[in-house]
Structure 1
Amino acid sequence: MLHHAKNLIFRLLGLMALSAALSACGGAPETATVTGETMGTTYTVKYLANPGSPLPDPKQTQADFDKILQEVNRQMSTYQTDSEISRFNRMKASEGSMAVSADFATVVAEAVRLNRLTEGALDVTVGPLVNLWGFGPDKNISQAPTAAQIGAAEKLVGIDKIRLEAKPSETGARLGKQADGVYLDLSAIAKGFGVDKLAQHLDSLGVQNYLVEIGGELRAKGKNQKNEAWSVGIEQPQFAQKQAAQIVVPLNNRSLATSGDYRNFRTDASGKRLSHIIDPQSKQPISHNLTSVSVVADNAMTADGLATGLFVMGEEKALATAEKNRLAVFLIIKTADGFKTEMSSAFKEIVK
């Protein structure tokens, strides 16, 4: 399964059921809530019947969701040895390139685009450094890597180390690498893509109102059972003085994702706290005061990737990038006195 090392601070407003359920109270539309497991976490989808139409069968819909998510894993899970991404990671550079599915190519292309937007902060080739610092499959590393080890891994890291070839439709897309050992990990963006795939399936069924969530990454369309915009509460820190416990974000046909490192870290031999997120530029675990980044975007894949990239950048660069690109971003920053929050201009427009 895909593993996504993000710690989430969402409270879903209106997603109260934890298993498949139907409700039709008074004049409210008939509603279904289905749940399942995927990518090392859970998913929850709530959708409403269209006026005058029957509700798509929840059991069949859940079966469809599971099939869709299994296919995403078959393409992009580094934990499945026969997945497309695992076959690519084993491939030698001398083999040239390998054919990849359209969905796989879509996610890689977006990762490349967001790498440029975040000035290299989101880098899906950073796996060799992640493994070197003890956040990969081998969790027993107790000492920091040497400069020589970092230098060797660095030669395999960089978006320029992969090559996505868009070919005519009859041959499909192909993906190549510049050196043996180049390792692709799409976990910073694939969960959001999974959200989008479930939303697309609901669209294909003609569903006009839904909220899709996988491990805290969300995408909404239409209205909830109260005929209001689907809303998500972002919990603020206890020490964000004189502020409400939550910032309520109406999604209005948009997506939301967050990235942070509250709990996913390890301590080295000297007792130093090491974040699980590696800065591709410094080649070390990030060490800044930014605690979390939440992003609202048109689709969950983009929100997912941006949340990680902006988190790596740190408070000042993240806010500057958000303003430059009109990104809706909410930051929680650790201070000497506790925590503070910041919002980009685009985010303020959403919650005003």
Structure 2
Amino acid sequence: MAQPQPYPGQQPPVTSVPGPGKNGKTSYLPPDVLRPHHQQQHAAHNHYIKDPTHGQVRDDAPPPLPPKPGPKPLQRPAAVGTQFSHQGPPRGNPLNTHSSGGIPPQHQQPPFPSRHRFDPPPHGAAASVVGNDEPQYVHMMSKEEQELVRQRARASDAESNIRERELELSQCHTEIAKTRQCVRDKKEEVKAKEQEITQLRAELDRLRQAAIGRAQPLVAGNEAALQAEVQQYRRVVQDLRGEMEQLRGRQNVATPPPSTDMQELIRLRGEVQWHHGERQRMLQEIGVLKSSEQVLIAQVRTYQEDFESERQDRERAHATIDEMREEIANLNHIITMLGGQEQQQQNFNPP
């Protein structure tokens, strides 16, 4: 069987020996196992392998052999294409038979041109899927190789989880940094407010001291003025009390008999009081007369209104009487005319 020619930029193909598969199908080892060590590291770093041909078939490649009659090959599911998409570097060089993870050359096959393209094996034998979305060639490996593949898959999942956790951790660190910065800003604002409060309190104390200093002289002056005024009032009260005592002493002393002038003065005072009483009496009478005058004026006005109303009633009565007289005269005239007409009719129409 002719060996396929290598693509430009690739290493020469390695002879592979296909092993017996399930249901008589040919199974091959996974391409990640047969890839060179430096290409596996490059794939683990970039998560893909560049295809220099971009999936195109070379013109100088030998024609494929006609497929043998058999069952229709199965299509590869989507899960198989991404099963080994995030695998870490292998533990050894698969091309080196002396390494701990190496595979003998007789069990190797050439690497696929593209990591994400799954080409069916030669002679039309397609890899079948057996349980848990694993290709058939996984079940045709030895237990160590199967465990290695599963460990790589688990390592890929673990790396993905680690990257996700690292991303979440970086986001958490960013949020924590923002929160700390916000806390620092708030602390600075609180400190500034505390300083402002301290300054305001100091200013308030200063203003209080200044107000007290200004009020003390005023209070002292007012207090002195009040004390002087109180002392003056007290002196006045004492003088009044002395005069009262003197007056009481004079009343107790026997009064001399009144003289002629004093008697005349007393008589005149009596007359003045009598005239004053007369004046008050006359004023009272004048008030009574004024009140009676108002009453009389009201009565006169009432009488005038009554007279006016009676006069109007008389005028209306005379007018009514005149109208009735005119109506009676008209009725008598009409009756007379009717009587004359009836008499004429009787004369023209004798019985």
Q: TM-score, with normalisation over the residues of structure 2?
A: 0.21
Does 1 or 2 have the higher relative contact order (CA < 8 Å, sep 6+)? 1
Bigger fraction of residues in helix? 2
Greater Cα radius of gyration, structure 1 or 2: 2
Bigger fraction of residues in strand? 1
Q: TM-score, with normalisation over the residues of structure 1?
A: 0.21
